[in-house]
Amino acid sequence: MFAMHVLRPIEACPVNSKSQIKSLHFAINSAFRKIFLIKSYDAADECMSFFKCSVSEVIHSRKIKFLSKLQLSDNILFKTFAKSISEELVSFVFH
The boundaries of the domain holding residue 89 are: 55-95
User: pLDDT value at position 66?
Assistant: 82
CA-to-CA distance for 33 and 73, rounded, in angstroms?
Answer: 41
Residue 87 and residue 73 share a domain: yes
Q: What is the pLDDT of residues 38-85, one digit of tens each?
A: 999 999 999 888 888 888 888 888 888 888 888 888 888 878 888 888
User: pLDDT value at position 5?
Assistant: 64
The candidate with the shortest Cα–Cα distance to 65, out of 92, 45, 83, is 92
What does the pLDDT average to over 22-33?
91
State the pLDDT confidence band at 9, using cuts at 50, 70 and 90: low
Q: Per the confidence metrics, is the pTM higher than 0.75?
A: no
User: pLDDT value at position 76?
Assistant: 84
Residue 47: inside a domain? yes
Tell me, rounded to whole angstroms, the distance of Cα 56 from its chain centroid.
Answer: 5
Residue 63: inside a domain? yes
Residue 1: inside a domain? no
